Amino acid sequence: MAESATSNIVEVKEPSFPFGKKEKQLITDPLMDNNPVTIQVLGICSALAVTTQVFPSFVISIAVVFVCAFSSLATSLLRNNIPTQVRMIVQLVIIATLVTVVELVLKAFSFEVYKQLSVFIGLIITNCIVMGRLEAFAMANRPWKSFLDGIGNGLGYGLILLIVAFFRELFGKGTLFVGSPAEVFIIGANNATTTYWINTAAESGFGSYFSWYANNNLMVLPAAAMFIIGIFIWWQRSRNPKLVDIS
Amino acid sequence: MEFFNVFIKSAFIENMVLAYFLGMCSFLAVSKTVKTAFGLGLAVIFVLAVTMPINWVINEYLLGETGIFGTDLTFLRFILFIAVIASMVQLVEMVIEKVSPSLYNSLGIFLPLITVNCAILGGSLFMVSREYNLSESVAFGLGGGFGWFLAIIALAAIREKLRYSNVPPALRGLGMAFILTGLMGMAFMSLMGIDPTVYSVGN
């Protein structure tokens, strides 16, 4: 995060400039050093449930970024008018509304994806990241900052989701990116109904060179996601020992 | 007899955390010491046991085609269930804040997050999909909560012991908790019996 000389000058003049140093940190910190999944311990259930394949995880990540950003914005705008006794219900109504918007947009513009994901989209309501950030950040900060915090945390969550899903799909099912409707990205073979990058069960294409690989069924179980996140935490904290919590 | 069966089944065989991996966030974050884990466990038992029958009544008498409104309102299920849960959790939060401020502070953000604890909403949805009656749903709420309580106490106790053992420094704390939960979950899977849909062996 090297800061250029110009942005320092801007910072002195206007401390709350829309893209000052603090605002940048709001987006970059949750990616690694304050990651919602591995440091704040939020949103683990869905990280176990969706990550058997890469493509659904990718869509869910985008949806969570959207919901997180706009619910933070809305809560932050309303924060001085929400009585503390009913704040959870208010937050949940905001989240549920946004999730419904995501669901309807997907239904209208990409029905194939919607059919694959219908249950998991609904479950974004109970994703702790969204409500956790509302409680921890948006209830106490200005709208623009809360918005950026929402984007940052959504992205940090998506990063973990994609890493876990990559290993689980590749080693558990011998495929990669099954079901992605984006033909542009296809490297591997394509058998009319489903598209994928790699598929060890295919008869042609890149994946067919790996047809000797026997799928590891352990990777499909939720326990495997726990192990992968555990190993990721190990790597992350040996890289940056300051993150270790001794307890 | 049915009451007892459902209780045992939901507490041990189909344990919310270790068999279905629901309610993971607070399970991992609050299991540092047995004392706080105990407090959160009790709160979860209470919320599950209270919301389950309320949601059963809502589902039976408000949402179904045989209910008061006479039309199919099941699309409102998510919102209504979550609203009931949120108000219960808000109540628990106020009580804990009054009764035990130290527990309130050590639980921190994870107390309001019981609302979005998947185990609780998941419990209500399981109750609907398995078509439990009222007494069974009370048993399911109590049993599910008790199973969650036992699991978090077990993990907290292991983590307290682990503090004195020689874990690689970077894996200490949360990293080890993840791996431990994975191992405990694999052990619990043997209790689920031989169900081909769970294991899906073969290609």
Distances (CA, A) of B94 to A88, A138, B40, B54: 12, 21, 14, 20
Chain A CB contacts of B170 under 8 Å are 233-238, 241, 244
Distances (CA, A) of A102 to A62, A171, A242: 10, 31, 38
Chain B CB contacts of A247 under 8 Å are 32-33, 159, 163, 173
Residue B157 Ramachandran class (φ > 0 left, ψ -120 to 50 alpha, else beta):
alpha
Chain B, 123-182: which have a CB under 8 Å from a chain A CB?
Answer: 159, 163, 168-176, 178-179, 181-182
Output the pTM of the full model.
Answer: 0.82
Domain boundaries of chain A, sorted by first residue = 44-168, 182-212
B109 touches chain A (CB under 8 A): yes
The neighbour count for residue B42, using CB atoms within 10 Å, is 15
Q: A159 Cβ partners below 8 Å, 6+ apart?
A: A31, A35
Chain A CB contacts of B86 under 8 Å are 88-89, 92
Distances (CA, A) of A97 to A61, A102, A126: 18, 9, 13
- Give the pLDDT of chain A (247 residues) as one tens digit per residue: 344 444 444 444 445 567 777 888 888 888 888 888 888 888 888 888 888 888 888 888 999 999 999 999 999 999 898 888 788 888 888 998 898 888 888 888 877 778 777 777 877 888 888 988 998 899 988 899 999 999 999 999 999 999 999 999 888 888 777 766 654 444 444 444 566 667 777 776 677 777 788 888 888 888 889 999 999 999 988 888 887 776 5
